[in-house]
Structures are given as C-alpha cells and as structure tokens.
Amino acid sequence: MGHFQFLAQPVWVNLLVLTPFALYFVGRSRSIQISGRQFLFATCFALAFGFVEAAVVVYLHAATGLLPGYTRTSSEVQRSGVTPQQLPPISELPQSLLTIKELPQSLLTVEVLREGATIVMLLSIALLAESRAKERWALFLWTFAWWDISYYVALWATIRWPTSLKDLDILFLIPVPWVAQVWFPLLVSALTVIAVGLSKKQIRV
C-alpha cells in the first residue's frame, strides 16, 4: 500500500477540486433549472457508460498481457511501445504508469482518441438535454461525476482494482498524462454530486 499523496500531477490538475464549489455558488446565486427526469436519464447514461469505460480498460489490459491471469493475444502489442515525451524515465514512474510505457504507439493514439470521444459523448448529453449554457454546464459536470464514480466501482467489481484509494491512476492523457491517487478523482466527483444536490431546491421537478 503506497503512501498518501496530496497533490496530483501536473500541478494544475489540482485546480479541478474548485469546480464543485464554483458550481455550488453559481447555483445559489443564479437558479439552475434542470428537471428531475433529465437528471435521472443523465445519471442512467453515466452509470452505464462508466461500466463500458471500465470494460474497455479491462479488455485493453487483457489484450496487452498487463492483466494478471491473461496472456497477450495480439502480435502488435508484443512490440515495444513508444514512450510519451511527457513522462519521466521508467525508473521514476509509479507502477500504474508502466502500462503507458508498454503500449505501442498505435494503441496509445487510440487511447487518446477514445478519451476525446468520451468527453464528446458526455458533453453531448448535456447539449441535447438543455438549451441554456448554465444548465448545460451543470448537467455535464453531474454526468461526468457519476460516470467517473461508476468507472472505478466497475473496475473494482470486475478485477478488484483499485485495491486502495491510494493506488495511483492515470486520469487522462490529454494534453499530457494526469496522474493522481484514486481518492482524488473520486473526491472531486463526490463533491460535484453534492454541489448539485445542495441546489436541489432551485431545480424544477
């Protein structure tokens, strides 16, 4: 079990913790009007999408031989991967980052594109559900938060990872790898859900 790390990397990633507080104060000063039905459907989508995201990660690790109990099944992934320039030498990397360094460049490119597509899908839900910018932003953050929580729950349910909230994870690769212990994204997501929940009196049913 690793030591508790307070800060995520790069340093600017830590500013994400301010997002739920900004959302809360905007909701209190200027009423956020989103129906309960919109929240329900957005939450269902987020929970299902979180499981799909976790399944993709499990399949990727299994196909590349990085998941215990599975062997490599693709000749391509047997070739050594290209190390992203943003990452430090392998000797300085936490164990969770070794996955990136072992991926071939083709799969790494696919991962970056998949992450971009993920954001587009989550954003599309908010754009389709609401026409006002404030409500769209709130619904996007709500959906993103539940998707993120569902992702980690699904990973733990399927492969029993993370084993601890102090496990390191790669949150995103765009524009550079975001690295933090698991508690950090879960904290931001939980605070986002709470921030929206505290604005419930200002949301129409």
Domain-embedded: residue 24: no
Identify the domain containing residue 193 by its residue range: 37-80+91-202
Structure tokens at 86: 């943003």
Structure tokens at 95: 């164990």
Give the mean pLDDT of 127-134: 84
Domain-embedded: residue 142: yes
Structure tokens at 178: 């975001």
Domain-embedded: residue 16: no
**Sign of the CA dihedral with 183 first, then 188, 194, and 200 last:** negative
Give the mean pLDDT of 147-166: 92
Q: Which of 129, 131, 156 is nearest to 50 (CA)?
A: 156
Q: Is the pLDDT of residue 37 over 80?
A: yes
Query: What is the per-residue pLDDT for 82?
Result: 35
Q: Is the pLDDT of residue 12 over 90?
A: yes
Give the mean pLDDT of 13-34: 81
Q: What is the mean pLDDT of the chain?
A: 78
pLDDT cut 70: percent of the chain above it: 74
Task: Tell me the C-alpha distance between 99 and 97, whole Å.
Answer: 5
What is the count of structural domains for the chain? 1
Structure tokens at 133: 């910018």
Domain-embedded: residue 118: yes
Q: Which of 49, 59, 61, 55 is nearest to 150 (CA)?
A: 49
Task: Tell me the C-alpha distance between 23 and 148, whole Å.
Answer: 17
CB count in 10 Å sphere of residue 165: 14
